[in-house]
Structure 1
Amino acid sequence: MHRHLDWMVRTISLLLIAAFAQQADAVNGVVGPGNCNYAGFSSVLSTVDGSGGGTITFNCGTATITFAGYKQVSNAVVIDGGGTITFDGGNSSAFFQIFGSATLVLKRLTLQHGEFSSAHALENFGFLRLDQVKMQNNVSIGAPILNQNSLIVERSTFSANVNTGTGADGHGGAIRNDGGSATIRYSTFTGNQAATGGGAISSTSDLDVADSTFTGNSTTGAGSGGAAIEQTGGIATVMYSTITGNTGQTFGGGIYSNDPAVLTVSRSIIANNTNGNCDGSSTALVSAGYNVWFGATSCSFLQPGDGSGNPMLGALANNGGATQTLLPAAGSAAINRIPNAQCMLPYDQRGATRPGGIANSSCDSGAVEAGAAIDLIFYDSFE
């Protein structure tokens, strides 16, 4: 079922891109040369969004555009930075607010130094898709991304974001999924921090995470947990993910889930997290099998393929693909843990085929299929 869901997400994304491409002939906007600044970008966005939607690209070379206030999106807009554009909040501005009827796709962009004041760095009430986005060094009272409708994240990196809020504001060092539906694929969360809970992701509603890496995330407040993922409502799944080296201030250094939530974990590595790899009620945190845990505390999963063992993970590094990953070494307890018939998802976080690594007959738990070849068509997102 997860294989079909994964391809459904990708098909929907491609259909959205095709729809935007049809609009682009009429409403394209190009920033630069000569207007590669906030005023120039604002003018182009106003024209494209005001005409009903379209695609914005840049002819600026490598450039940083410093925001002087967040922008609202009311139609269907794609902003493609081509891997050379950085949006900077100057530690005083958010970036975008997406209306309930709107769609915003951000591609190949860096968003940094956004600050929560009157809006989260990205505040989504419609449809938001991030593809190959780096969201880094945003420090605010509240999660950098607030999602209350539909969010898709693919091949993106969230690093060194800090949520300094307390109480309800203190959930989610990178993403707060609060009443919406969030899908996370092929992405890395590292060095993010929240005070109340969910050092990387805090969710009160439906969440689907696969082929992703969580390391070095933390919670800081008394009674806080879920340093990688905190799930307190809705239905959530975590599959083929690597969750290691995270720190919960009090409990759940890896993942935390409690009633009325149901979080199902499968085919994942949960290892060496401080103050517990897993925490939550037995009805809220369950296994669908083939998980590996390692360290001082067990995850108490008892489904086929579940068990303790050293995943022997390397450092966070460029192991191919769009995001950095943690590569298991030869002899890892994660390698060849999953029978071929139970592999389910066709790619790892890097876009390498699964199965396709060592022995080429079974799949590895975690985000990386060791020794597998990267599918260049996947890596280029079929474009």
Structure 2
Amino acid sequence: MDDRFAPLFFSFIIMPTTLIVTRAADTTRAGSLRHAIANANAGDTIRFSSKLANQTITLRNTLTIAAGKNITIDGSNARGLTISGNNANRIFSVQSNHVTPTQVTFQRLKLTNGFTRDRGGAISTEHQASVVVRNVLFSGNKARKGGGAIFSAYEGNLTVNNSTFRGNVGTAANDERGAGAIAFWGPNRFTVRNSNFINNRGINGGAINSLNGQLTVENSRFIGNDTTAGRYDTGNPNPFLRGYGGAIYTDRASAANSTGGTIRLTSNVFENNKGRGEGGAAYLYSGQNDRVIVESSVFKDNTVLNLPQGGAGNGGALVHITNGPNKGFTLRNTAFLNNTASNQGGGAWIMDAPTTITNVTFSQNRTLGNDFSKNGGALLLRNAPTTIVGSTFTRNRAGWVGGAITGGDNASIKNTIFHYNTADNGPNSWNIQQHSSSNLRDRGGNYQWPPEQNSSENVSNRVNLVDPRLGRLQQDANGIYYYPLLRTSPAIGSGAGPTGRSLGFVQDSESGQESDRTSLHSTADQTLVGTSGNDRLVGGKGNDVLRGRSGDDILIGGPGDDRLVGGDGNDRLIGGPGRDVMTGGSGRNTFIYRSPRDRGDRITDFDVNQDVMDLSKLMSGDSFRSRTPFDDYVELVQSGSRTVVKVDMNGDIGSPRFQRLAVLDNTNAGDLQASNFIL
């Protein structure tokens, strides 16, 4: 054939577009949300006219997003916009399959009063769908089978950030996946950050139920969530609706045939949650290939009740169980305060998992009742080899024995305080095993007060039997509770050396001796000195000095005018409020600013070739949307040999208001580049 007559082929590229919703009425007419979803193509964004601010779109039926329609639904331009299911309809259904998986982002919306007899009252997905939720309020949604707000189907991914789940319910049906707010079917990633879960009610997991999911929850609050609807449901397909995990319930972190996954809870607050059977705040079940990490969190005023027909009531705040030894349970830098269990483990109940507990405070936790099973006022260990370092057990109470710990036959303690723990011994007047039900392996530096009446029942035969003189309960700069030692405490300046991360030295200003307990904070000015390892040093409320050594350290100042010195290694320095002086030392150092209140610092040795200033927390709001944030939000001013770093704190490019954040000594502003800033 002559080339002149060769057929012509054309390819068409559909560019992403923005569709604007202008009508609050739920119709199929142009300008409605339903019309926009039906006509959107993959890659499109649906926005709302500013005229819809504070209005409500009340749905007549569910909004369906077809498989493969990867879109964003963004309510940023219409603040206060609500989409309501009218207590009769699920709000969004995201269709998806392995051939055409769907990715949808929801942001800056209020999703309320969704309802379904199935799963996912506000959002429900199908196979392999990926959903991102940002700055969304889920309120009053109901799903009879669980996932009152969101249900994420098998092999999907779910990311939630800066969102609030309030008063969502998943309790009505005979379904053990009855999560009040979010039900997730793994085995992929499920991530929650910077979010609030308040007064949600479920069967297993008042807020979250994660099946095989690689769950990460960071910097979030779980307040008043409830699984007391758990019950025996005799005669139905699921005769035992457990009621486990007042806030969070997990069933493994990976599929049974996989190499394993991780459940990680970091920097969270669990308060006033209530469960039945197991785990007033969290029930964390894992497989043998999984690992579990709980860190930098607070469990306060949580309760676990027994089931209505009797049985259990373990772990007032937390239960961790694994079916045979797993890859380890790490519990660190956390506080358990005033939690109660109707049976065992007023604070925590742990079974089978090799466990490390570091720098944890257990205070005023208790088991209720007085029969022989009411053991472990703070902690019950069942076949769980455990190492406890740098922790405090004070004023915990058990109904039978082990006011602090029960089941510690395979547990060791180091640099740990047992202080005024009590055990009622049921109706008996024995006055035995007040602190521990058995002797623990003593690795040095431990204190117990008061002694047992029979010396063989002390926590160990080497423990220091002297009052450690604890001060009042306080919070550090990260909101973690601890008990400082009074200046007259005999524990200051004595004890064995620390053996792990997050342990530092607190230097007694009078004796100059170093003590090896992070809990030795003081209300006065103090000096904390790290070890040769990777340390985490946290200042108090005074004008403190924090000195790292040769590891990759994290130094966190408090509200005072602090001095932070990183030393060798790649360190992270957080001055916090106050006029702080920070010296990174050798290595690649990061100076972190988390709030406008942190301004006013001086950095003495900023290395333009490797150091960075992390300002991402300052610029995390919706106002900061520039594609050139370094040019628009950061101003560098030369002042003699110093560079003054100024930041536009409100993100208003049109009318910037730069405020002085920090001064960099001996630094030329012209040498600083965008790569020196994390924005």
Q: When the two structures are superposed, what TM-score results if normalisation uses the length of structure 2?
A: 0.44
Q: Which residue of 2 aligns with 1:153?
A: 160
Q: Which residue of 1 aligns with 2:71?
A: 77
Shift of 1:292: 1.1
Q: Which residue of 2 aligns with 1:202?
A: 209
The 1:356/1:88 distance shift into structure 2, 3 A limit, reads farther
Structure 1 CA distance for aligned equivalents of residues 85 and 57 of structure 2 = 9
Paired letter, 1:225: Y
The 1:76/1:292 distance shift into structure 2, 3 A limit, reads same
What's the RMSD between the two structures over aligned residues? Answer: 3.2
Structure 1 CA distance for aligned equivalents of residues 83 and 273 of structure 2 = 28
Q: Which residue of 1 aligns with 2:292?
A: 263
Structure 1 CA distance for aligned equivalents of residues 87 and 555 of structure 2 = 42
Structure 2 CA distance for aligned equivalents of residues 232 and 117 of structure 1 = 23
Structure 2 CA distance for aligned equivalents of residues 354 and 199 of structure 1 = 35
Shift of 1:249: 2.5
Determine whether 1:273 maps to 2:302: yes
The 1:382/1:118 distance shift into structure 2, 3 A limit, reads same
Q: Which residue of 2 aligns with 1:175?
A: 182
Q: Which residue of 1 aligns with 2:115?
A: 115
Determine whether 1:304 maps to 2:368: no
The 1:247/1:53 distance shift into structure 2, 3 A limit, reads same
Determine whether 1:87 maps to 2:83: yes
Structure 1 CA distance for aligned equivalents of residues 174 and 473 of structure 2 = 44
The 1:304/1:90 distance shift into structure 2, 3 A limit, reads same
Offset from partner CA, 1:226-257 (integer Å, 9 cap, x none)? 01111112131111111111000233111112
Q: Write 1 or 2 for the structure with the bigger share of helix.
A: 1
Please list every run of 5 or more consecutive structure 2 residues that lacks an aligned counterpart in the other structure.
1-12, 232-241, 254-261, 305-315, 341-345, 350-354, 365-471, 483-501, 505-529, 538-553, 566-574, 578-593, 597-616, 626-679
Q: Which residue of 1 aligns with 2:134?
A: 131
The 1:175/1:253 distance shift into structure 2, 3 A limit, reads same
Structure 2 CA distance for aligned equivalents of residues 255 and 370 of structure 1 = 30
Offset from partner CA, 1:300-320 (integer Å, 9 cap, x none)? 67522122248xxxxxxxxxx
Paired letter, 2:283: Y
Paired letter, 2:152: N
Determine whether 1:29 maps to 2:22: no
Structure 1 CA distance for aligned equivalents of residues 473 and 335 of structure 2 = 15
Q: Which residue of 2 aligns with 1:379?
A: 621
Shift of 1:262: 4.4
Offset from partner CA, 1:166-223 (integer Å, 9 cap, x none)? 44355210001112421000001010001x2100001112211111111100002124
The 1:173/1:332 distance shift into structure 2, 3 A limit, reads same
The structure having more radius of gyration, on CA atoms, is: 2
Structure 1 CA distance for aligned equivalents of residues 150 and 535 of structure 2 = 34
Structure 1 CA distance for aligned equivalents of residues 162 and 624 of structure 2 = 13
SS of the residue corresponding to residue 218 of structure 1 reads coil
Paired letter, 1:45: I
The 1:46/1:357 distance shift into structure 2, 3 A limit, reads farther
Shift of 1:342: 5.4
Paired letter, 1:54: D
Paired letter, 2:104: L
Question: Could you tell which deviates more after superposition, 127-136 or 252-261?
Answer: 252-261
Determine whether 1:358 maps to 2:559: yes
Picking from 50, 60, 67, the partner of 1:68 is: 60
**CA contact 2:177–2:183 (8 Å) conserved in 1:** no
**CA contact 1:263–1:286 (8 Å) conserved in 2:** yes
Please list every run of 5 or more consecutive structure 1 residues that lacks an aligned counterpart in the other structure.
1-22, 311-328, 345-352, 363-368
Question: Could you tell which deviates more after superposition, 109-118 or 208-217?
Answer: 109-118
Structure 1 CA distance for aligned equivalents of residues 480 and 118 of structure 2 = 47
Determine whether 1:290 maps to 2:333: yes
Q: Which residue of 2 aligns with 1:252?
A: 279
The 1:187/1:79 distance shift into structure 2, 3 A limit, reads same
Shift of 1:68: 1.6
The 1:273/1:44 distance shift into structure 2, 3 A limit, reads same
SS of the residue corresponding to residue 34 of structure 2 reads helix
The 1:62/1:200 distance shift into structure 2, 3 A limit, reads same
Structure 2 CA distance for aligned equivalents of residues 158 and 343 of structure 1 = 32
Count, aligned residues: 325
Paired letter, 1:104: V
Structure 1 CA distance for aligned equivalents of residues 557 and 56 of structure 2 = 40
Shift of 1:42: 0.5
Q: Which residue of 2 aligns with 1:45?
A: 37
**CA contact 2:205–2:249 (8 Å) conserved in 1:** yes
Paired letter, 2:124: E
**CA contact 1:185–1:210 (8 Å) conserved in 2:** yes
Shift of 1:45: 1.4
**CA contact 1:97–1:119 (8 Å) conserved in 2:** no
**CA contact 1:231–1:263 (8 Å) conserved in 2:** no
**CA contact 1:27–1:55 (8 Å) conserved in 2:** yes
Paired letter, 2:334: N
Structure 1 CA distance for aligned equivalents of residues 204 and 16 of structure 2 = 45
**CA contact 2:473–2:481 (8 Å) conserved in 1:** no
SS of the residue corresponding to residue 172 of structure 2 reads coil
Structure 2 CA distance for aligned equivalents of residues 280 and 45 of structure 1 = 43
Q: Which residue of 2 aligns with 1:231?
A: 250
Shift of 1:99: 2.8
Shift of 1:277: 0.7
SS of the residue corresponding to residue 559 of structure 2 reads coil
Question: Could you tell which deviates more after superposition, 299-308 or 82-91?
Answer: 299-308
Offset from partner CA, 1:18-51 (integer Å, 9 cap, x none)? xxxxx9974211011xx22222111111111xx3
Picking from 139, 143, 146, the partner of 1:140 is: 143
Highest relative contact order (Cα 8 Å, sep 6+), 1 or 2? 1
